[in-house]
Amino acid sequence: MLGGRRARRAAARGGSEGSAGGGVDLPPLLLFLLAERGAHQGDPLGPLLHAAALWLVLRRLQALHPDILVLAYHDDVVVVGPPEKMGAVLADAARLGREIDAELAPAKCVGW
């Protein structure tokens, strides 16, 4: 009988390895988690992972700018603070967002 790693290696090669009782033909290993960034469409954990990563970014943004208020509903973020500090806040938000592969959409950024 094959152990975990040995069975996966054999399946990935498409070959057959088995116990002393004879070879066992294994189907090729299906690689269904190939995403290097983002989540697959319909992945039930996608929104949770996105929210967790964004939460960390927002916490860091708040720590960098303790005199502003950061409110968010999933990926809709509102920042309240002095207008003269918004340029630095947006620059930090863009930098922190890149760390989790999120992009700031300048066309959607509004100040008043």
What is the pTM (predicted TM-score) of this model?
A: 0.61
Phi, psi of 30 (to 5 degrees): -85, 120
Task: Kindly state the helix (H) or strand (E) to which residue 87 belongs, with its residue range.
Answer: helix 86-99
Tell me the percentage of the chain whose pLDDT exceeds 90. Answer: 32
Give me the number of domains the chain comprises: 2
Q: Mark whether 104 and 50 lie in a shared domain.
A: yes
For 59-91, how does the pLDDT look when each residue is reduced to its tens digit (9 = 90+)? 999 999 999 999 998 788 999 999 999 999 999
Are the C-beta atoms of 93 and 104 separated by less than 8 Å?
A: yes
Are the C-beta atoms of 79 and 87 separated by less than 8 Å?
A: no
User: Does 37 map to a domain?
Assistant: no
User: Does 41 map to a domain?
Assistant: no
